Amino acid sequence: MMTSTSGRNWENRLFTGEWLPGRGDSVPAREAATGATLAMLATADTADVAASVEIARQAQAEWAGWSFDRRAEVLRRVASLIRERAAEFNHWNIRECGSIPAKAEWEIQAVYEQAQMAAAMPMQPVGEVYPSAMPGRMNYCQRLPIGVVGVIAPWNFPILLSMRSVLPALAVGNAVVLKPDLQSAVCGGLLLAEVFEAAGLPRGVFHVLPGGPQTGADLVAHPDVKMISFTGSTQVGRSIGEVCGRMLKKVALELGGNNPLVVLDDADLEVASSCGAWGAFLHQGQICMQAGRHLVQRGAAERYIGLLAERASRLAVGNPATEPVHLGPLINLRQAERVEDIVQRSVALGARIVAGGRRRGPFFEATVLADVTPEMPAFSEEIFGPVAPVTVFDTDEEAVALVNRSPYGLAAAVHGSAMGRASALASKLRAGMVHINDQTVNNEFHIPFGGMGASGNGGRFGGPANFEEFTQTQWVSVSHKGIQYPF
């Protein structure tokens, strides 16, 4: 059994540059697998949010004024500390989120890479020079920090999906107020505060305010929070977008997905079924990029279903903190019951369970459903559980229509041996990311990441997109001599 190395200075505390009790209720941090209380968490109320934002507003200007090399050095120390404390982060990721150890280890490595990338950002070019039709004038555009950025992060990849916004926002000179989900507030927030504090980030530049929906709403509505970066459900994202739209506030939304994995009749079915299993069952299917719809051409369907079911049947389910398993618990009992309901309603409409299909408390078996049609909830809803619904199609045009029938457009995958055919099909899919002969759950820190349609508002995270998201552009013209106009 792993043990935490933390001194737990964060227990029942918020972080505003110093550790303070919250004015909100004290709530338990619970283990996903057992429901046991792991720690007690402070939560932020409206007054806490207001106080935190004011501290961040005052601290931001000084941080933005630091030389690029000083800011980069802090972020390099953050990267080193993330790696040094990996075992502690992994311990809490497993306990809070039900992550298996391999998933937790991958996530912390990805965060390390994000931190290294962010440390390189301050030394990149910050503007462009443009010509002018006016003699003696020079035009340049420079990137400036936005100010205070609010980050609202989810529980499924709580460290990575907070730090992919926190790190670049800080790198370009913003202050950040992070609201982690209460179901992952330790690994996805409070331990991060310890890291930034130890790395020498100036007091007040980074804040962690655990809380529920009202805490998030207060952060979104605060007039001195100039940008919101939100990762979560489409329903909540729409509400946040409405508020930010009325306030003319910048907002980056990375929302839900119902991602198709298309298997053509000339695909390597061993490879396709391996990708299908990974994309559908990794982290119990609780990933926005999960392969939620398996669209298989008729000639390949029977064998693909058999191979996928065979892979699903070999996956062990249990508590990842106490036994070697492939699938841990879903984040809570309510979510497990929701997945069960989607499966049962789809079966009632004619779907067939080929593998799995059973729930035990918060644990749900890797499940393969055959004979799924577009009218079934297993096709139309984002399941967010370890379920692979298989729908059969006949023509490439039918596959495209089935993919684009969904309002979501986050990720997609296409399997086929003829690259021209697979690429032509991929170009017709309404998705922000398409992977040929791979699975849907793909992320590389240096490549812009994001969706279309109901999966986001066009914002992107990663690589050069980080400069677009977390800065604002100012045009400056410089005339060497004053210009006399005819008035």
The 3-class secondary structure across 37-95, one letter per residue, is EEEEECCCCHHHHHHHHHHHHHHHHHHHHCCHHHHHHHHHHHHHHHHHCHHHHHHHHHH
Helix, strand, or coil here: 247?
coil
Helix, strand, or coil here: 482?
coil
Q: Let me know: does 471 contact 145? Beta carbons within 8 Å.
A: yes
Roughly what angle, to the nearest 10 degrees, separates helices 160-171 and 68-84?
160
Structure tokens of 127?
């503007």
Helix, strand, or coil here: 3?
coil
Residues 6 or more apart whose CB falls under 8 angstroms from that of 237 comprise 230, 253, 255, 456, 457
Helix, strand, or coil here: 270?
helix
Structure tokens of 115?
């931190």
Instruction: Respond yes or no: is residue 254 known to be catalytic.
Output: yes
What 8-state DSSP symbol labels residue 483? Answer: P
88, 254, 365, 381: which is the annotated catalytic residue?
Answer: 254
97, 107, 288, 340: which is the annotated catalytic residue?
Answer: 288
Instruction: Respond yes or no: is residue 302 known to be catalytic.
Output: no
d(CA 144, CA 190): 28
Helix, strand, or coil here: 101?
helix
List the catalytic residues. Answer: 254, 288
